[in-house]
């Protein structure tokens, strides 16, 4: 496979962009080799600067559940752009997107649009503190909630991939406001509430984790979390930036039947453009400025192009429930081909091949993976035109555009892996 152009671009990029990339996991640091500079995407396939084509299992890390350049989304953006790309004033479409989100996500009664998942979790946390008058946050090891200072403690995604502490540059005072607990441990959660109950503003969780690879909540874990938060007056924040509109139209909360107080959304709701949101109980959301005293703002928030993309996306998903079955069936077919000795974990259309023989229920389990063998597997697939996540600790994403030919190519590539 010729990668000359990507190599040249990466050399140039490293002169002017830290590590040559604008987000760490893109750099292939944990798997080695040259990141592919991408030129175009269509459906489930992407093409790099050297003209190599791959079946894409990143799908922009989640947003593209309908595949690249999905025509109704592309058309909506084109139309919005021609009418002015930003106003800094309200538009009718923002109201429509807010209504669509509230209609789909069971616990969301009011919603505020922001520009990234990080902004959504940061704002939700501030709101929880403002509402409760408390300071502490509980999070879980291996969960990633964006690069918010206090939430980088024991974080997943790139923080886990690069094995960095996650707190360089974060004042110790901020880090001390976070209690990090093992995912799936009800006992640890009970103990934390016993010790700090009256000081905990919020518990934030990925209800199904994608950011240490795909890890599912064990029966009773989310239920206990809901009960403890209610009992101690803490808000429960479901970070559904990844799982929202991915696991179902109503996200993980719909599947597990749990009603969080606040929910953060991102990725899919922008259809591949930068948009995210936080929302939830109306009595809590009314504390956000200008109706309340918790300040949060944004020059480009509710950007017309991003909102148009989001509406086109959510409209298609609401009208085509078959998208979820189709994407999950393709994911299931790929998972069935996993090599021996690998633990496969899947939730709908997101999955991870963990190179460990134990089932992965927490970061402690995930950390037992053979990341070198994963790297070899990743490069084998890449050479065979299949683009998996360049890190053991990320989920792979399947779209409704992953057709039979793509799945067959993937299965053949996986089956020819010799470790």
Ligand X SMILES: *Cc1c(COP(=O)(O)O)cnc(C)c1O
Which residues form the catalytic set?
144, 239, 267
Positive or negative: CA dihedral 366, 392, 389, 237: positive
Shortest Cβ 380–ligand X spacing (Å):
26
CB closest to ligand X, residue no: 117
| Least spacing, CB of residue 34 vs ligand X, in Å | 23
Does residue 394 interact with ligand X by CB under 6 A? no
Residue selected from 145, 246, 326, 346 as contacting ligand X according to rule CB under 6 A = 145
What order of strands is seen across the sheet that includes strand 396-397? 343-347, 350-354, 396-397
How far is Cα 233 from Cα 53, in angstroms, rounded to an integer? 52
Count residues near ligand X (CB under 6 A): 15
Residue list 167-206, contact with ligand X (CB under 6 A): 206
60 touches 69 (CB < 8 A)? no
Out of 141, 239, 261, 394, name the contact with ligand X by CB under 6 A: 239
- Quick check: 244 binds ligand X (CB under 6 A)? no
Instruction: Return d(Cα 196, Cα 216) in angstroms, integer.
Output: 27
Strands 178-181 and 136-140: parallel
| 26 binding ligand X? (CB under 6 A) | no
The answer to whether 251 contacts ligand X (rule: CB under 6 A) is no
Closer residue to ligand X in complex, CB, 276/342? 276
Name the segment binding ligand X (CB under 6 A); options: 25-33, 49-57, 144-152, 221-229.
144-152
Regarding 207 and contact with ligand X (CB under 6 A), the answer is: no
Per CB under 6 A, the list member of 35, 130, 142, 266 interacting with ligand X is 266
Based on CB atoms, which residue is closest to ligand X, 35 or 251? 251
Binding string, residues 267-306; x marks residues near ligand X by CB under 6 A: ---------x------------------------------
Of the candidates 124, 96, 89, 151, the one whose C-alpha atom is nearest the C-alpha of residue 276 is 124
Bond prior to 311 in cis (omega within 30° of 0):
no
Minimum distance from residue 241 beta carbon to ligand X (Å): 4
Beta-bridge partner residues of 205: 238
The answer to whether 230 touches 260, Cβ cutoff 8 Å, is no
> In this structure, are residues 394 and 60 in contact, taking their beta carbons and an 8 Å threshold?
no
- Comparison of 241 and 288: residue with beta carbon closer to ligand X: 241
User: For the CA atoms of 279, 280, 286, 290, what is the dihedral angle to 10 degrees?
Assistant: 0
Asked if 141 is part of the footprint of ligand X (rule: CB under 6 A), the reply reads: no
What distances in angstroms separate CA 252 from CA 38, 230, 409, one per listed residue? Answer: 31, 19, 30
| Contact between 352 and ligand X per CB under 6 A | no
State the nearest-atom distance from the C-beta of 22 to ligand X, in Å.
11
CB of 269 to ligand X, least distance (A): 11
Does 131 interact with ligand X (rule: CB under 6 A)?
A: no
Neighbour order of strands in the sheet with 45-48: 38-42, 45-48, 53-56, 386-387
Let me know: does 326 contact 67? Beta carbons within 8 Å: no
Q: Does 158 bind ligand X (CB under 6 A)?
A: no
For the CB of residue 247, give the shortest distance to ligand X in the complex, in Å: 12
Q: Minimum distance between the CB of residue 147 and ligand X, rounded to whole angstroms? A: 7
Q: Does 210 bind ligand X (CB under 6 A)?
A: yes
- Rounded least distance, CB 398 to ligand X, Å: 16
Using alpha carbons, select from 180, 171, 239, 181 the residue that is nearest to residue 205: 239
CA atoms within 13 A on the CB side of 325: 3
253 contacts ligand X (rule: CB under 6 A): no
Q: Which of 128, 241, 314, 386 binds ligand X (CB under 6 A)?
A: 241
Torsion of CA 379, 384, 387, 388, to 10 degrees: -60
Q: Please give the helix or strand (H or E) that residue 255 lies within, else none.
A: helix 251-256
- DSSP states along 87-122: -SS--HHHHHHHHHHHHHSTT-SEEEEESSHHHHHH
From candidates 242, 277, 305, 375, binder to ligand X by CB under 6 A: 242
Q: According to the binding rule CB under 6 A, does residue 215 interact with ligand X?
A: no
Instruction: Return the residue of 3, 91, 107, 118 that touches ligand X, per CB under 6 A.
Output: 118
Q: Which of 20, 130, 146, 348 binds ligand X (CB under 6 A)?
A: 146
56 near ligand X, judged by CB under 6 A: no
Closest Cα to residue 106, out of 306, 294, 253? 253
Interface with ligand X, residue 117, by CB under 6 A: yes
The owner of tokens 């509109």 is 245
Which residues of this chain interact with ligand X, rule CB under 6 A? 116-118, 121, 144-146, 206, 210-211, 239, 241-242, 266, 276
């Amino acid at each position: 496979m010729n990668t000359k152009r990507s190599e040249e671009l990466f050399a140039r990029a490293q002169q002017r962009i830290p590590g040559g990339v604008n987000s760490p996991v893109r750099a292939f640091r944990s798997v080695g080799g040259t990141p592919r500079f991408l030129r175009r995407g269509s459906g489930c396939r992407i093409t790099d600067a050297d003209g190599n084509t791959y079946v894409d299992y990143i799908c922009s890390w989640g947003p593209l559940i309908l595949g690249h350049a999905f025509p109704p989304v592309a058309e909506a953006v084109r139309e919005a752009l021609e009418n002015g790309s930003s106003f800094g004033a309200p538009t009718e479409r923002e109201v429509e997107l807010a209504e669509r989100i509230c209609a789909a996500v069971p616990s969301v009664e009011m919603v505020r649009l922001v520009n990234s998942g990080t902004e959504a979790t940061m704002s939700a946390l501030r709101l929880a503190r403002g509402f409760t008058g408390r300071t502490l946050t509980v999070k879980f090891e291996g969960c990633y909630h964006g690069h918010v200072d206090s939430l980088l403690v024991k974080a997943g995604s790139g923080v886990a991939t690069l094995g960095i502490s996650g707190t360089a540059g974060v004042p110790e005072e901020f880090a001390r406001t976070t209690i990090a607990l093992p995912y799936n441990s009800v006992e640890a959660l009970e103990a934390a509430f016993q010790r700090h109950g009256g000081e905990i503003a919020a518990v934030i969780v990925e209800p199904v984790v994608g950011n240490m690879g795909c890890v599912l909540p064990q029966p009773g874990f989310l239920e206990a979390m809901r009960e403890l938060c209610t009992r101690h007056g803490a808000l429960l924040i479901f970070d559904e930036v990844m799982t929202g509109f991915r696991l179902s139209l109503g996200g993980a909360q719909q599947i597990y039947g749990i009603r969080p107080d606040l929910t953060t959304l991102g990725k899919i709701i922008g259809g591949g453009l930068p948009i995210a949101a936080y929302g939830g109980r109306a009595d809590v959301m009314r504390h956000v400025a200008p109706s309340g005293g918790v300040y949060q703002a944004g020059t480009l928030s509710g950007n017309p192009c991003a909102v148009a993309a989001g509406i086109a996306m959510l409209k298609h998903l609401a009208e085509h429930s078959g998208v979820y079955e189709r994407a999950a069936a393709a994911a299931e077919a790929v998972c069935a081909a996993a090599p021996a000795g690998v633990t496969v974990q899947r939730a709908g259309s997101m999955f991870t091949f963990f190179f460990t023989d134990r089932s992965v229920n927490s970061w402690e389990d995930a950390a037992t993976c053979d990341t070198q063998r994963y790297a070899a597997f990743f490069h084998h697939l890449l050479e065979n035109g299949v683009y998996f996540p360049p890190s053991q600790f990320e989920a792979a994403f399947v779209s409704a555009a992953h057709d039979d030919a793509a799945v067959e190519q993937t299965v053949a590539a996986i089956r020819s892996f010799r470790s």
